[in-house]
Amino acid sequence: MEQLPFRQVLETAEKIRTMEVRGAGHIARAAAGALRDYALVLETKSLDEFNFEMKRAAEILLNTRPTAVSLSNATWMVMRYKADDLEDARKSIVSNANRFIEDSQRAVEIIGEIGSHRINDGDMVLTHCNSMAAISVISAAFRTGKDIQVIATESRPRNQGILTIGLLEELGVPTTFIVDSAVRSFMNDVDLVVVGADVVTANGSVVNKIGTAQIALIAHEARTSFMVAAETYKFSPKTILGEPVIIEERSPEEILPNVSRYKNIRVRNPAFDVTPYQYIDLICTEVGAISPVMSYLIIKEKLGWELGK
Amino acid sequence: MEQLPFRQVLETAEKIRTMEVRGAGHIARAAAGALRDYALVLETKSLDEFNFEMKRAAEILLNTRPTAVSLSNATWMVMRYKADDLEDARKSIVSNANRFIEDSQRAVEIIGEIGSHRINDGDMVLTHCNSMAAISVISAAFRTGKDIQVIATESRPRNQGILTIGLLEELGVPTTFIVDSAVRSFMNDVDLVVVGADVVTANGSVVNKIGTAQIALIAHEARTSFMVAAETYKFSPKTILGEPVIIEERSPEEILPNVSRYKNIRVRNPAFDVTPYQYIDLICTEVGAISPVMSYLIIKEKLGWELGK
Amino acid sequence: MEQLPFRQVLETAEKIRTMEVRGAGHIARAAAGALRDYALVLETKSLDEFNFEMKRAAEILLNTRPTAVSLSNATWMVMRYKADDLEDARKSIVSNANRFIEDSQRAVEIIGEIGSHRINDGDMVLTHCNSMAAISVISAAFRTGKDIQVIATESRPRNQGILTIGLLEELGVPTTFIVDSAVRSFMNDVDLVVVGADVVTANGSVVNKIGTAQIALIAHEARTSFMVAAETYKFSPKTILGEPVIIEERSPEEILPNVSRYKNIRVRNPAFDVTPYQYIDLICTEVGAISPVMSYLIIKEKLGWELGK
Amino acid sequence: MEQLPFRQVLETAEKIRTMEVRGAGHIARAAAGALRDYALVLETKSLDEFNFEMKRAAEILLNTRPTAVSLSNATWMVMRYKADDLEDARKSIVSNANRFIEDSQRAVEIIGEIGSHRINDGDMVLTHCNSMAAISVISAAFRTGKDIQVIATESRPRNQGILTIGLLEELGVPTTFIVDSAVRSFMNDVDLVVVGADVVTANGSVVNKIGTAQIALIAHEARTSFMVAAETYKFSPKTILGEPVIIEERSPEEILPNVSRYKNIRVRNPAFDVTPYQYIDLICTEVGAISPVMSYLIIKEKLGWELGK
Amino acid sequence: MEQLPFRQVLETAEKIRTMEVRGAGHIARAAAGALRDYALVLETKSLDEFNFEMKRAAEILLNTRPTAVSLSNATWMVMRYKADDLEDARKSIVSNANRFIEDSQRAVEIIGEIGSHRINDGDMVLTHCNSMAAISVISAAFRTGKDIQVIATESRPRNQGILTIGLLEELGVPTTFIVDSAVRSFMNDVDLVVVGADVVTANGSVVNKIGTAQIALIAHEARTSFMVAAETYKFSPKTILGEPVIIEERSPEEILPNVSRYKNIRVRNPAFDVTPYQYIDLICTEVGAISPVMSYLIIKEKLGWELGK
Amino acid sequence: MEQLPFRQVLETAEKIRTMEVRGAGHIARAAAGALRDYALVLETKSLDEFNFEMKRAAEILLNTRPTAVSLSNATWMVMRYKADDLEDARKSIVSNANRFIEDSQRAVEIIGEIGSHRINDGDMVLTHCNSMAAISVISAAFRTGKDIQVIATESRPRNQGILTIGLLEELGVPTTFIVDSAVRSFMNDVDLVVVGADVVTANGSVVNKIGTAQIALIAHEARTSFMVAAETYKFSPKTILGEPVIIEERSPEEILPNVSRYKNIRVRNPAFDVTPYQYIDLICTEVGAISPVMSYLIIKEKLGWELGK
């Protein structure tokens, strides 16, 4: 039977695998925390053994959702250490993990602060789905007294727009709710689109909730600014090596409950789409607001990856 | 108390007003039939009196839904007559009405035939909402043995896509069902978009189900052909005189059932949008397949209106 | 010495040549009036002689400004007659001339009425230079109580924007005045651009005040509607035969008073530019609002020219 | 054995079928001439028999190359007659045929005259393949003393560019010869592209030599004008009914002589492509220079077809 | 009373505030010089006191025009030092200041040299307003014997184009002078647009003289290259943190001297506009010619700022 | 007479000059090898003399083809050393040269691996000319069992497409062969374009075989991805300093064998064209797949150049 400390790693892994823990940020911080807690109590005879054990734990966590970029980034950043002795290693891991957790928790707030400068008094802002980073930008602008309005989309098939208008209702932001098909009808009155991101690739494309790419196209057609709000742990180092981002397909029943009755009909339900960088004016991260094509620099300077390494 | 024949006019008017009779074609044919039936039995002392009575009936019908272009076109086409005596007038109206009813009934079939030439073996066709004319194009191509596939959108908020896949299921056409937000994700695999129309304006813009305009934009971005299937009675002569097409807004509850609970949220629910002619490759009518900017010619040659008249 | 009636033709010709009479409408009506007055008093021995004399008069008028399309259209429309005897000819000319004069005078008003339907309550409208037809559209919308605002450009080098804001000041329309270079900075807030036209060609391109074409491009970039307000006598039949529209260059001194001091500098001062039809959503005439590519139909149906004739 | 006059119809049909007579103009005039000659000598007992015989001859000619639009137009135009007696019918056919032949022969010259107005002194004109109508435009401009230059493309796979530079060499027009792939490298220096057409469709798309569509796209990218020079008998009435234009594929050996040696390689050799009307500024015909979307009007006014007939 | 050395800081500050010293370069060098001169004579008891005094001086200078990016960059670059003792600090400041002054003075010349490679023999170059860096590019190309021509715009409302043609007249460069509205009419003959910059943001957008953005759009439409010539001290580090660039509005009287006479007219007079990076092909700096989206790298490598610092 | 070792440098130089050694990779490796071999045997009295001799050899090699970026990069990378003594210098050169040779040989393979991730099962890939790096991407995808097809262009005037289909035939990849003019006709069926590069500039533009730029434009029009496969030694550091890439013109006889017979015809035969970065989605190098505008970073991080150095 596994020792207690290791059992906690396994439990965290299980929670991530079963999606009891979900959402890019929660997953990342749970993994970082699990590694930190394991490092704190792990007793080994040598540094080598310590390193070996920690790697084993990291891999178990990574394998729960191998395509989740936040999980991979969290693990990578906690496990970046060079140590001369065991205690040194332990301290590095703990310190890495704590820094990652704190940084990622503060990121949404800083993104709100930086991004809010782009919203002017009197602006109409459109958002899609339910992104904490995007809402943080809106609420930061609203809190400073700017007279703004929001348009929120329904965001089929899971209707996360309902969550978004719930939050905006509480904040008191005047908001209009529309179906996804009505975006172009309202775009000429919109000054800025702000959305979140699930993954940002090395060449600046953004993977986000299905529908984001066509909203970006519609904004581009109308010369409306399009901003992505994304914590740096959403940036995917592996895309440098050409590794494609897998677009998950969800259950057909989300769209067509009785799909099995049909012989000739099948349902396609991709959860995300890819917005090309040409339609994105700015990606707002907690380390600054950058052109999307600068994404490699975030990967290099913040996550520590490099071309050809 | 009104005479019986006139009561039937009033009943038809009431059915149109209360939307018991609905859909552009049904409304148009009901009005034409009511005028014909009234003309058949109307007894007057003079041609002038006959004309006066018929005009009164026509106006009552028109006023039930003053912005319904099919109703206005039907009435206009039935009432276009010059007569030397009462019987001549009666005959003209009956003949006009019968021709309109027959033409409009056959139109969907002819449009299917003409439009189907644009679908090639192996094509993927995308359609939106639930247009009989558009489905006629698809089924005509399918019946001639072409190996085609269809993508149908959900078409929120009333989900008419469900009706469309029901029809395609029966026809046996292999069909994929997607949410409206997923259109851009599939567009690179689409060879042709076919949609219907509620109104075609004099300058070739098309008013159709909300979401049509952004699908047209997405097709344009991917160099995918975009065809509108529309009976000629959908063309609006009054737009020549600058009269704007009113975009109806439907009930908020279609989107957000409990809208009244929210203080800061309002719902906007436009039923239609306007697709600019620049994104439309072809409008397929029962008299031929034309460039959208030729719409004025349909209005002139088929409906008999003219510039400056 | 020429007879008195003919002297009046010559005097009108001289006034047009020396630009004492100027502006497309004034020139056209002056020429039509001169022909009418000459026809009224001209005494000849035969119909042939009458026709000959009238043609001579028409040519003298035409040659004063051979590239002025309104002059050419006015002359053409007055001189379209077929007559069996002299009095018949006289009557036709008088009637043609009176109709042209009345129609052209009412045209600006009707254009205002038709075009005003395109302006919605709350709209911001941008106009360039000083077009009576464009201002008629704005004032018709304003008079019906719509809450609108205008942006007027300076319109270098002759600063006709000053005339425009003078008229809008009197009408009481809230107006913002900007330099020509600032158009793009304000375009995202503009709902509709309305300008006039000097010439409309058979393929729908519009020749208008220098700067119009780049405003149309800027509107297109921002998905802002672009409408041209033009009387039908501005449409040029000769462009069907490929005849190019000559772009007049005005005096360098309008831009650089002391141009002769410079050895290496020359000034180019084209008075007009050509807006391609792709950037024009609508041309509003007194016979209706049409797609620009319908211009040939105006030339055919209203001016009476035909392909291959 | 068939009578002599009919044998001449058969011989002409055979020459068209075997491509001994080739080129849109030659085919059309040969068919018109054959029908005329047959009508001149055909002896029948009744008008009905005459009509029947003529129709038989027309169908034989039509069936030689059923997709050749010039053949179909020529036959159609010769056979449009209404006659009360046999001699009347004979005269109509002869007159129709002679007019078609004369008109089509003069068309290239008139197109040259009309189109040449679009070429200014100092212009660089690019042409593709070997179109007589396009070269007529160039030579008409050159003959009037305009200082122009031409860029001619090689036009693979049949290298018709060699024919073009042969003609331009004789005319003395300074010409640059380039491969098809170099068009974009030179486009910024080009003022006007002029090409011919094999078919013009009812919605203004142009079927022409493979490569034309991408040259049009390249011209559009660089804001260079793109003009098509096309006789009216190139316009296809049947496209109104949705009938697709079949793009002929020629022998693989034109591109890859030893194609049979390869197991995994196949050759595709479409002779034509379709240029969308959005990339065409003007179609220059012998009846005038029109916007491409006006093509239906050519079909209606010049060829006598109508919507819904 | 303040000591003499400090009074000189105050005097420089006053000259910057009152715009006696104006122009991005002059302001920057004046501030650097003032800090250097103050450092040279400042006597303090400790390094801490010295640092405190220098910071106070720097802040006084910065506050004169808090949005002037060159002033902020100059101050930042002079004050970047780490010192162990007072003399060390003094030396660092003097050396930083001298290097900044020399570098900024040579920058215009080096930009001319680098940028001139982009101008080919026979090119037509368009410039807007009166930028020394842009003119340096033109004159460097002209000096090497390239046969070039320039188009200069009037640049309303302050007509800086007059200054530009004065300089080009002296250099002997053949130049054409046009109004701002005529840019599109000449763009097809232009090979390269070169303009200066007031501010370059972290995502590569360029703030420059009003009108620049629409010239960039017009160049883009015609596939004409668009180059910005900008010294590195024009790049704004603070835009990384989302800080917006404030667009100054100048006096209405510059455009409409008697504005107060009007009740319904107001004047908007923004001095600058923002050109989006998508319309800029190259930014030429004294350290190299880069893609506009590389602007963050200039900010990082040359100005020493970093993401997240 | 020169010493033997130096004679080998001269011989290599001669082979490069006479194009006995050709192709970017072969040239680069030959030069690196020659420098290494010379360094191995060069006997001098001092480090200074050694350095002087090596520089002389490097310059001789560089001058054989001064515009060949791979030659310049190879020489630069071999000669980057700092040494305290002669043996140290010798070792550095040998080690630099060996690393360059190995890296460049493995680059094509790694590019194939990285790039192949972008090709999905069922994809149609278009390639132009005959690039080893592009074919490596295709064959890597094919080897992993993906069901792909290729379209290869003829690539006039030297018909390198024949070489490409020869290689694909051997690999067994189903391939379609077309003329360069047919690219747009097939683009709607293409999922990805992959081409090689001769030079990549600092701002991300790609110099490649004539025709590449128009294929990129055609791909852009149809929303088809466009990828460049390029080894890092193709990136040109000197373009940072504005140095233009010279586009070589080859012999007219390649296109028109008997060109001298013509008086008015000249041939232009540019070997390459420039694809603007806006049409390139990704550049795939052996160190990763990057946005084209990241090219400066390749130049900096891999080749060791820096802005302002």
Residues in chain E with CB shorter than 8 Å from the CB of A290 are 202-203, 240, 296, 307
Whether residues E80 and E119 share a domain: the answer is no
3-state secondary structure of F249: strand
Low-confidence ranges of chain E (pLDDT < 70): 1-4, 307-309
Q: What is the pLDDT of residue E1?
A: 45
Quote the domain boundaries for residue E69: 4-108
Whether residues C148 and C288 share a domain: the answer is yes
Whether residues F132 and F145 share a domain: the answer is yes
Q: What is the pLDDT of residue B2?
A: 56
Q: Does F287 contact A278 at a Cβ distance shorter than 8 Å?
A: no
What whole-number distance in Å separates Cα of residue D170 and Cα of residue D185? 27
Q: Does A296 contact F293 at a Cβ distance shorter than 8 Å?
A: no
Nearest to C117 among B243, B278, B296 (CB): B243
Whether residues F60 and F205 share a domain: the answer is no
- CATH number assigned to the domain comprising residue C240: 3.40.50.10470
Nearest to D290 among C202, C243, C306 (CB): C202
Contact A202, A299 (CB under 8 A): yes
Whether residues B171 and B248 share a domain: the answer is yes
Tell me whether strands A192-195 and F149-153 are parallel, antiparallel or unpaired. unpaired
Which positions ≥6 away from A88 have C-beta within 8 Å?
none
Catalytic residues of E, which ones?
129, 198
What is the overall mean pLDDT for chain A? 94
Q: How confident is the model at residue C275 (pLDDT cuts 50, 70, 90)?
A: very high
Among F85, F191, F198, F273, the one annotated catalytic: F198
What whole-number distance in Å separates Cα of residue D116 and Cα of residue B169? 57
Query: pTM of the entire structure?
Result: 0.95
Whether residues D265 and D210 share a domain: the answer is yes
Q: With a cut of 80, say whether residue C68 has pLDDT above it.
A: yes
Q: What is the pLDDT of residue C309?
A: 57
pLDDT (mean) for C118-133:
97
E26 token code pair: 């002059």
Q: Does A243 contact F117 at a Cβ distance shorter than 8 Å?
A: yes
Count other C-beta atoms under 10 Å from residue D53's C-beta: 18
Residues in chain F with CB shorter than 8 Å from the CB of A200 are none
Which positions ≥6 away from A124 have C-beta within 8 Å?
A148, A149, A150, A151, A189, A190, A191, A192
Among B198, B273, B281, B284, the one annotated catalytic: B198
**Of the candidates F91, F108, F125, which is a domain's last residue?**
F108
Asked whether residue B309 is domain-assigned, the answer is no
Nearest to E241 among A114, A281, A302 (CB): A114
What whole-number distance in Å separates Cα of residue F227 and Cα of residue F213? 12
Whether residues F279 and F269 share a domain: the answer is yes
What whole-number distance in Å separates Cα of residue D286 and Cα of residue D266? 42
Q: Does A264 contact B217 at a Cβ distance shorter than 8 Å?
A: no
C41 vs C4, C11, C86, C91, C166, CA distance in Å?
10, 16, 12, 11, 42
Whether residues C181 and C298 share a domain: the answer is yes
Asked whether residue E308 is domain-assigned, the answer is no
Q: Does B273 contact A182 at a Cβ distance shorter than 8 Å?
A: yes
Count other C-beta atoms under 10 Å from residue E243's C-beta: 16
User: Radius of gyration (Cα) for chain F, nearest Å?
Assistant: 21
F116 vs D99, D271, F168, CA distance in Å?
63, 33, 16
Residues in chain B with CB shorter than 8 Å from the CB of F191 are 188
**Of the candidates B83, B108, B133, which is a domain's last residue?**
B108
Residues in chain B with CB shorter than 8 Å from the CB of C293 are 293
F50 vs A280, B131, D172, F10, CA distance in Å?
53, 83, 63, 17
D168 token code pair: 């331009």
E174 vs E108, E152, E225, CA distance in Å?
22, 11, 20
Count other C-beta atoms under 10 Å from residue D298's C-beta: 26
Q: Does D155 contact F265 at a Cβ distance shorter than 8 Å?
A: no
What whole-number distance in Å separates Cα of residue A179 and Cα of residue A161? 9
Whether residues C139 and C82 share a domain: the answer is no
User: Radius of gyration (Cα) for chain B, nearest Å?
Assistant: 21
Low-confidence ranges of chain D (pLDDT < 70): 1-4, 307-309
Q: Where are the alpha helices (DSSP H) in E83-173?
A: 86-116, 132-143, 161-171
What whole-number distance in Å separates Cα of residue C287 and Cα of residue A247? 54
The beta strands (E) that lie in A249-306 are given as 265-267, 272-275, 282-285, 288-290
Least confident residue range of A238-247, A249-258, C5-14, E45-54: A238-247
Residues in chain F with CB shorter than 8 Å from the CB of E117 are 241-244
How many C/D residue pairs have CB atoms within 8 Å?
57
Asked whether residue D198 is domain-assigned, the answer is yes
D153 vs B285, E73, E184, F262, CA distance in Å?
40, 54, 29, 16
With a pLDDT cut of 90, the percent of chain B lying above it is: 87
Whether D198 sits among the annotated catalytic residues: the reply is: yes
Q: Is the dihedral of CA A248, A251, A254, A255 positive or negative?
A: positive
Asked whether residue D219 is domain-assigned, the answer is yes
Nearest to F185 among D156, D183, D210 (CB): D210
Asked whether residue C43 is domain-assigned, the answer is yes
Whether residues B85 and B137 share a domain: the answer is no
Which positions ≥6 away from A110 have C-beta within 8 Å?
A286
Contact A30, A70 (CB under 8 A): no
What is the overall mean pLDDT for chain B? 94
Q: With a cut of 80, say whether residue B309 has pLDDT above it.
A: no
**Of the candidates A108, A125, A143, which is a domain's last residue?**
A108
Whether residues F101 and F189 share a domain: the answer is no
Asked whether residue F308 is domain-assigned, the answer is no
Q: How confident is the model at residue C197 (pLDDT cuts 50, 70, 90)?
A: very high
Least confident residue range of A15-24, E1-10, E135-144, F147-156: E1-10
Q: Does A188 contact C223 at a Cβ distance shorter than 8 Å?
A: yes
pLDDT digits (tens, 9 = 90+) for C169-192: 999 999 999 999 999 999 999 999
- CATH number assigned to the domain comprising residue C24: 1.20.120.420
Q: With a cut of 50, say whether residue F1 has pLDDT above it.
A: no
Asked whether residue B308 is domain-assigned, the answer is no
Whether B88 sits among the annotated catalytic residues: the reply is: no
pLDDT digits (tens, 9 = 90+) for B227-237: 999 999 999 99
By the 10 Å C-beta count (0-12 exposed, 13-18 middle, 19+ buried), F218 is classed as buried
Asked whether residue D308 is domain-assigned, the answer is no
DSSP letter at B11? H
Count other C-beta atoms under 10 Å from residue F56's C-beta: 12
What whole-number distance in Å separates Cα of residue D159 and Cα of residue D164? 9
Q: Which residues pair with D152 in a beta bridge?
A: D127, D177
How many independent structural domains does chain C possess? 2
Whether residues B126 and B101 share a domain: the answer is no
Q: How confident is the model at residue F96 (pLDDT cuts 50, 70, 90)?
A: very high
F34 vs B191, C213, F39, F42, F71, CA distance in Å?
56, 60, 8, 12, 12
